[in-house]
Structure 1
Amino acid sequence: PENVHLTLKFLGEIDEKMVDRIAGVMEKSVKDVPPFRIKFRGVGVFPSMDYMGVVWIGLKDAEKLGIIAEQLENGLAAFGFKKEKRRFSPHVTVGRVKSPRNKNMLQNFLKENASKEFGEINVKSIKLKKSVLTSKGPEYSTVKEVPFQKY
């Protein structure tokens, strides 16, 4: 659970010198955003049910996340970060499919829970996260947190 997060923009490897610039873009992206709630709703897979790679939980009432993601995308492009070709699709990755074993069971689970609600959370900041791959999987730490405006 401590590794669960929503990616607004994946940056890849960055130079430490870029952190302040990135933080500036983050601050501009949420300048007029008050805290809001999102719901976890539905499950699915990327890229498709035939070629399952990533299992995700969808988000409802997440329009503000799309606006923030677009602001980040445009602001970071000015510093040479490539713009994402795919449309932003708010989701939380909950697993990866390593083999087609039990594919039918997973497909049934996905169909049964396609519109199930899993709870909701308050969104009140965005974070620049650092990911270090270890033998036990990725370890995440927060480099910078930018809180939303309180109204």
Structure 2
Amino acid sequence: MRAFLALTLPDDIRRSLAVLQQELAHSGADIKWVEPQNLHVTLKFLGEVTDEQRRAVERLLGEAARGETAFTPYHGGRPARQGGEEWRGRPEGSFQRPRPLGRGTGFTLGLDRVGAFPSIASPRVVWVGLGEGKERAVRIAERIEESCGSLGLPKEDRSFAAHVTLGRVRTPRRQAELARALRECAWRAPAPWPVTALTLYQSVLSSRGPNYTVLAEVPLTR
């Protein structure tokens, strides 16, 4: 199954972002917009995972949420076997020292400005960046990235860029108009909201686009 780790957005935040999508759509650019119900902040795209890897990731999420600590399993100086087999039982000395992510509580997250990758002048992915709480989200994503490597999951070769993807540009049609719309956008970010959980999603691709299903949701608050 295809899976990813994310921060879920409240319904009112998704509605606000849907308004922004509609505003930018007036540019006439050829964009495949993310369905509002699918908008989220990706922490780690896992790709294809086995059931064993999924269970290991769920356990990792549990450790991360209880004190927001990411553990890297090892056995005899070597990484744990693929699938996180060495997680079972937690024998004495079977984990490296924990890497703290924070205080083990929820935090406040806010949105910032609209932008595009690789640039507004040549947009391929339209996004909204994070504002308040961005550093905390980045720290969580980085620690998850470190720990997922021990489960045999691919490592990202780029640094984590905290954002919400709004849409992907399919062709250069009316690219200049889209760039102008991004620069002159009148949208204002809604008020920050409390983040209280980490979520593991399954992604099933279809002709209409991806469908997301929650596999696990681990509270950040104790």
Q: CA deviation at 1:53?
A: 1.4
Q: Is the 8 A contact 1:42 1:113 kept in 2?
A: no
* Aligned match of 2:59: 24
* Aligned match of 2:116: 45
Q: Give the whole-Å Cα distance in 1 for the aligned partners of 2:159 and 2:187.
A: 21
Larger Rg: 2
Q: Give the whole-Å Cα distance in 2 for the aligned partners of 1:136 and 1:75.
A: 33
Q: Is the 8 A contact 2:110 2:130 kept in 1?
A: yes
Deviations 1:73-98 (A, max 9, x none): 11111111122121111100011111
In structure 2, relative to structure 1, the CA distance for the partners of 1:44 and 1:130 (3 Å cut) is: same
Q: Is the 8 A contact 2:121 2:176 kept in 1?
A: no
Letter of the 1:30 partner, please give it: A
Q: Does 2:177 align with 1:105?
A: yes
Q: CA deviation at 1:6?
A: 1.0
Greater shift, 81-90 or 117-126, is seen at 117-126
Where does the alignment leave 5 or more consecutive residues of structure 2 unmatched? 1-35, 68-103
In structure 2, relative to structure 1, the CA distance for the partners of 1:88 and 1:115 (3 Å cut) is: farther
Identity of aligned residues (%): 37
Q: What is the correspondence of 1:76-87 to structure 2 with a 5 Å cutoff? A: 76-87=148-159
TM, length-normalised to structure 2? 0.63
Number of residue-to-residue matches in the alignment: 150
Q: Does 2:204 align with 1:132?
A: yes
In structure 2, relative to structure 1, the CA distance for the partners of 1:10 and 1:69 (3 Å cut) is: same
1:72 corresponds, among 137, 144, 147, to 144
Q: CA deviation at 1:139?
A: 0.4
Secondary structure of 1:78's partner?
Answer: helix
In structure 2, relative to structure 1, the CA distance for the partners of 1:50 and 1:111 (3 Å cut) is: closer
Please identify runs of 4+ aligned residues in structure 1 that moved more than 4 A: none
In structure 2, relative to structure 1, the CA distance for the partners of 1:76 and 1:114 (3 Å cut) is: farther
Q: Is the 8 A contact 2:122 2:179 kept in 1?
A: no
Q: CA deviation at 1:118?
A: 3.9
Letter of the 2:58 partner, please give it: A
TM, length-normalised to structure 1? 0.90
* Aligned match of 2:27: none
Q: Give the whole-Å Cα distance in 1 for the aligned partners of 2:190 and 2:166.
A: 12
Where does the alignment leave 5 or more consecutive residues of structure 1 unmatched? none
Q: Give the whole-Å Cα distance in 2 for the aligned partners of 1:106 and 1:30.
A: 40
Deviations 1:58-82 (A, max 9, x none): 1112111111111111111111112
Q: Give the whole-Å Cα distance in 2 for the aligned partners of 1:149 and 1:85.
A: 31
Q: Is the 8 A contact 2:121 2:179 kept in 1?
A: no
Letter of the 2:155 partner, please give it: K
